[in-house]
């Protein structure tokens, strides 16, 4: 069992609700990281999911796992899961239920209403239209201030919202994946190189990155691009690299479960997304001291301190990206300065920060619940008094 942190922490009882606990999903990664650091600090933690890769890790940290199906296209199954979760909450009386996915918010909301335990939700993907379901939480966590501002425009209340920036660095999950999935099979890359680590779908802007590299590489024959990740666009991306004449210099590594060591080998790290509320890999890249170039979307500017800790470019602009890459490739000193700037202040992305920030959210959710109960009780007392004065029996 891992050694608890020395930082004082008032223990709580927390139930995380997530669709599954398999790797390759940022929502899951945040929930697993948080559950593990909470259990390490002495909290009583339950993880409700349909199972997956991280079950052994959760067990290692003493996190209880309750297996429940949470498929949105199976309403009867969702109802059964909500009823089971409500029963569990009534028996265990946790301080909070914490939902990280949309189907999780649905069963969490029902269980909260049936058990009286407050529900907190974290909005990981506000660009998804279904994310409006996350407003079911008594408190709703936005993963960056930019996302908090965006959610306010979508009808969330200011009193309901709070921002907690993701913090993936030094996570128990990273160590677990290195030891169990990458120990004898870690990709070796050659320097000098550019590294990207993300899903291979349009939102991540990998087409723009390959196009930018095609502009830069002819004058930089030693440089390569390594892309870690899988997704539906891989074949199209490989075809693009081939059509641009750089297929031999664009290496697709497939999914890399623990990107930390890969990032430490990168001369330049790039994230060219069109939308990213608070990318985990930016936090990991800063913890690794990467020279970062990223698009100015979502929470990324905040994570890069608005340009101090990384270069920001416009989304959907391969030419602008190519210009920044050319500068960093040809100027070793500029690259070294950017690496130092990236590392400076990166402790904010240490996963341990999440412990007290989420504990504050949980306490606020509990206080809101108490205020609501007091308000209802006050209203009922007034109704009883008024009824007695009029010689009537109160109705409920």
- Do 166 and 143 touch, CB atoms closer than 8 A? yes
> Would the pLDDT of 383 be above 50?
no
pLDDT of amino acid 7:
52
CA distance 264 to 107: 40
Q: What is the pLDDT of residues 71-88, one digit of tens each?
A: 878 889 999 999 999 999
- Helices 206-216 and 234-243, packing angle to 10 deg: 20
Q: Return phi, psi of residue 30, to 5°.
A: -65, -45
pLDDT of amino acid 375:
40
CA distance 327 to 325: 5
Q: What is the pLDDT of residues 43-69, one digit of tens each?
A: 999 999 999 999 999 999 999 999 999
pLDDT of amino acid 183:
65
Question: Percent of the chain scored above 90 by pLDDT?
Answer: 80
| Section 271-291 average pLDDT | 97
Rg, Å, the chain Cα set: 24
pLDDT of amino acid 4:
44
> Would the pLDDT of 119 be above 90?
yes
Confidence band for 388, pLDDT divided at 50, 70 and 90:
very low
Confidence band for 356, pLDDT divided at 50, 70 and 90:
very high
Beta-strand relationship, 268-271 and 292-295: parallel
Q: What is the pLDDT of residues 138-157, one digit of tens each?
A: 999 999 999 999 999 999 99
- Residue 70 per-residue DSSP state: -
- Give me the domains of the chain, ranges plus CATH numbers: 13-164 (3.40.50.2000), 183-349 (3.40.50.2000)
- Helices 318-330 and 206-216, packing angle to 10 deg: 50
Confidence band for 389, pLDDT divided at 50, 70 and 90:
very low
pLDDT of amino acid 199:
95
pLDDT of amino acid 196:
98
pLDDT of amino acid 180:
84
- Report the predicted TM-score, pTM, of the whole model to 2 decimal places: 0.89
- Residue 61 per-residue DSSP state: T
- Do 87 and 66 touch, CB atoms closer than 8 A? no
pLDDT of amino acid 387:
41
35 vs 73, higher pLDDT: 35
pLDDT of amino acid 24:
87
| Section 216-241 average pLDDT | 97
Q: What is the pLDDT of residues 317-329, one digit of tens each?
A: 999 999 999 999 9
- Across the chain, what does the average pLDDT equal? 90
CA distance 338 to 316: 23
Q: What is the pLDDT of residues 161-213, one digit of tens each?
A: 999 999 999 999 988 998 887 666 778 899 999 999 999 999 999 999 999 99
């Amino acid at each position: 069992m891992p050694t608890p942190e020395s930082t004082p922490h008032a223990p709580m009882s927390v139930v995380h609700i997530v669709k599954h606990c398999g790797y390759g999903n940022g929502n899951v990664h945040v929930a697993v990281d948080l559950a593990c650091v909470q259990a390490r600090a002495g909290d009583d933690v339950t993880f409700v999911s349909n199972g997956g890769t991280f079950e052994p890790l959760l067990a290692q940290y003493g996190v209880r796992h309750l297996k429940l199906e949470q498929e949105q296209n199976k309403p009867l199954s969702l109802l059964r899961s909500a009823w089971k979760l409500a029963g569990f909450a009534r028996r265990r009386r946790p301080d909070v239920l914490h939902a990280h996915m949309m189907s999780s918010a649905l069963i969490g909301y029902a269980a909260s209403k049936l058990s009286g335990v407050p529900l907190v939700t974290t909005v990981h993907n506000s660009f998804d239209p279904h994310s409006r379901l996350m407003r079911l939480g008594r408190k709703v966590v936005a993963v960056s201030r930019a996302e908090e501002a965006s959610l306010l425009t979508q009808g969330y209340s200011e009193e309901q919202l709070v921002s907690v920036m993701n913090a993936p660095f030094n996570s128990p999950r990273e160590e677990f994946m290195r030891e169990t999935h990458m120990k004898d099979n870690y990709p070796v890359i050659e320097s000098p190189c550019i590294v990207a680590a993300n899903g291979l779908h349009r939102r991540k802007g990998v087409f723009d990155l390959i196009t930018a590299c095609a502009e830069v590489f002819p004058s930089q024959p030693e440089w390569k691009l390594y892309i870690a990740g899988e997704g539906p666009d891989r074949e199209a991306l490989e075809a693009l690299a081939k059509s641009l004449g750089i297929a031999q210099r664009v290496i697709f590594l497939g999914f890399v479960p623990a990107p930390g060591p890969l990032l430490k080998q990168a001369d330049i790290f790039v994230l060219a997304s069109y939308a990213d509320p608070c990318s985990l890999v930016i936090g990991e890249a800063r913890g690794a001291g990467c020279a970062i170039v990223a698009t100015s979307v979502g929470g990324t500017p905040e994570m890069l301190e608005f340009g101090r800790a990384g270069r920001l470019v416009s989304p959907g602009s391969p030419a602008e990206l190519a210009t920044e890459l050319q500068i960093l490739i040809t100027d070793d000193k500029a690259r070294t300065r950017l690496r130092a700037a990236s590392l400076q202040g990166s402790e904010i992305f240490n996963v341990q920060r999440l412990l007290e920030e989420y504990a504050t959210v949980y306490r606020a959710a509990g206080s809101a619940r108490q205020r609501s109960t007091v308000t209802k009780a006050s209203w009922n007392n007034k109704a009883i008094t008024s009824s007695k004065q009029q010689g009537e029996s109160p109705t409920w």
